[in-house]
Amino acid sequence: MFVEREASVGEPISQERRNALQSDKRILGNVVQCDGARATISAYAEDADGTVTGQWTVGKMISINLGATRTVGLVYEIGKSDRAWSNEGQNPIEVSIELIGEVRDGAEPGAKPVFDRGITAYPHIGAIAHRIR
């Protein structure tokens, strides 16, 4: 799930606090609904340029950043609430995910991130969904 890097030490600070010049292309959408097992993310089918990127597909794994933990989800359904496609402007979509676990940074400095099945901190409304690296 994680790529080994020469100086990999996890992410001790929230991803939203990174350098403002860093690309935000990993941001996919925001949580708009969550229950004990699933969540819905509001997003767009296209990127900001209007190009359909295929970034949302069933089976894709995503990460929802909650600061100290990152909830991991599996996309199981994608749809448009109005069931209509427009070639003018962006098409809002709803992405349903199953919550499968969470990633925590190690307690010790330099420790590798740890994945655990189950959820201890559930996503809040507005939480940002990212592509998993």
Q: Mind listing the pLDDT tens digit for each residue in 10-39?
A: 444 444 444 555 555 667 899 999 998 999
For residue 58, the model assigns a pLDDT of 92
Q: Which of 56, 45, 44, 35 is nearest to 125 (CA)?
A: 35
CA distance 108 to 115: 15
Q: Which fold has domain 24-131?
A: Elongation Factor Tu (Ef-tu); domain 3 (2.40.30)
Arithmetic mean of pLDDT, 39-61: 80
Strand partners, 31: 41
Instruction: Give me the residue label for tokens 């909830």.
Output: 71
Give pLDDT tens digits for 75-108. Answer: 999 998 888 887 777 888 899 999 999 998 877 7
d(CA 53, CA 27): 13
* Angle CA 47–50–55, to nearest 5: 35
Query: Per-domain residue ranges for the chain?
Result: 24-131
Note if the pTM is more than 0.75. Answer: no
- Of 71, 72, 132, 68, the C-alpha closest to 106 is 68
